[in-house]
Structure 1
Amino acid sequence: MTTYIADTGVFVRCGGPDNEKYQRLRRAVRHAGVSLLVPRRVYEELGGDPDDEAYPSSNSRWQEGVEEGWIQIADELDYTNSRVSRVMDAARRFIANDTDRPEDTIEKTDTALIGLVAQLFDTGQAGSVVLLTTDKPAGRAAESLLPSHGFTNDVEYRYASVEFLETITTDEFDG
């Protein structure tokens, strides 16, 4: 089964619960019987407090999706896992080179997305991953770096453009 991971930009691009793109994404994910997994850093960027017990008091307008189960918050990344930390370091370098920016300006959320994929593969929690992102360099980093770090699992990134979100259907998910 495929695990779907979403970044902050996907949710920001959808707008809030009153927006049609939000409703299309919600319907597509729920009807496919899958969920969107988000790193804790993404949840924090969306206004959630991952330290809340079961996330009950979040101010995030995405909290409804968490409560409905179509958005799930990933376990904390295990930075002591050398495979995860190496991939995250490589992702920071890759994105910096790809965007011609200094490494210390690369958002930790971008590397957390790729670290989460590595952790899921390393622990056997996912056989394949689709990364939904608005960040093309992070998507390219995931597709390039994970295989070069020994992860033979299938990883694909899909650019979540406005058009993609305006036309998304259950067919995007092989749940």
Structure 2
Amino acid sequence: MTTVYLADTGVFVRCGGPDNDKFQRLRRAVRQAGISLRIPQRVYEELGGDPAANEYPSGSIPYPKGFEEGWIVVADDLDYTNPLVSTVMDEARRFIANETDREEDLIEKADTALVGLAAQILDAGEVDHIVLLTTDKPAGKAAEAIIPRHGFSDCIEFRYVSVEYLETLTAGEFRTR
């Protein structure tokens, strides 16, 4: 089974800066497991990266080592012309709005981009399983509810990244289950 790990902005924010123990624990676990965390372009922008820069990372991002070391990777652009990607993102926005009792136009674009990226990767046949690491429960629930409705049953797993999760994280969390 091939698994891809996607991470949202909240994971890195919850870790604190690169000198924080939680950040170093995440870094160590991911590197020991031999995997990388993919992030959508929108997440990269939220972290302070410049998508117009010729190479990742740009000078303003607070986590340059993660990109330089290869354990954080910016995913390819979302293909909004792919009907699956645009449909899943629209459905995710509605789902999150309903879960949080907010207007759809107030839903963060990075949240829907995370779900859209999961659909895009699965649709491309790159992998058979995606683990979505997020601090945003509604976005995680949206992914688990929506992705299977589009033909990808048992292909997505949401893991809530709490402080406790980060404080006890080991490479074992990233081994294929």
TM-score interval, smaller chain = over 0.9
Q: Look up the SS of the partner of 2:167 in the other structure.
A: helix
Structure 2 residue runs of 5 or longer lacking an equivalent are none
Q: Look up the SS of the partner of 1:132 in the other structure.
A: strand
Q: Which residue number corresponds to residue 60 of structure 1?
A: 61
Q: Which residue number corresponds to residue 47 of structure 1?
A: 48
1:96 aligns with 2:97: yes
* 34-43 or 143-152: bigger deviation: 143-152
CA distance in 2, matches of 1:138, 1:56: 26
How far did 1:56 drift? 4.5
| Cα shift readout 1:57-79 (whole Å, capped 9, x = no counterpart) | 33111111001000000000000
Q: Which residue number corresponds to residue 119 of structure 1?
A: 120
Q: Look up the SS of the partner of 2:51 in the other structure.
A: coil
Report if the CA contact (8 A) 2:96-2:139 is conserved: yes
Report if the CA contact (8 A) 1:79-1:85 is conserved: yes
The alignment's TM-score, normalised by the length of structure 1, stands at 0.97
CA distance in 1, matches of 2:6, 2:59: 20
CA distance in 2, matches of 1:62, 1:163: 21
Report if the CA contact (8 A) 2:49-2:57 is conserved: no
Count of equivalent residues: 175
Q: Which residue number corresponds to residue 138 of structure 1?
A: 139
Q: Residue 20 of structure 1 aligns to which amino acid in structure 2?
A: D
1:80 aligns with 2:96: no
The alignment's TM-score, normalised by the length of structure 2, stands at 0.96
Q: Look up the SS of the partner of 1:18 in the other structure.
A: coil
Q: Which residue number corresponds to residue 148 of structure 1?
A: 149
Change (3 A) 1:153 1:84: farther
Structure 1 residue runs of 5 or longer lacking an equivalent are none
How far did 1:102 drift? 0.8
CA distance in 2, matches of 1:68, 1:33: 12
How far did 1:25 drift? 0.2
Report if the CA contact (8 A) 1:48-1:63 is conserved: no
Identical amino acids, percent of aligned pairs: 66
How far did 1:124 drift? 1.1
1:36 aligns with 2:47: no
CA distance in 1, matches of 2:58, 2:158: 32
Report if the CA contact (8 A) 1:39-1:112 is conserved: yes
CA distance in 2, matches of 1:126, 1:6: 16
Deviating runs (4+, > 6 A) in structure 1?
A: none
Q: Residue 142 of structure 1 aligns to which amino acid in structure 2?
A: A
CA-based RMSD: 1.0
Q: Residue 28 of structure 1 aligns to which amino acid in structure 2?
A: A
Q: Which residue number corresponds to residue 173 of structure 1?
A: 174
Q: Which residue number corresponds to residue 22 of structure 1?
A: 23
1:164 aligns with 2:165: yes
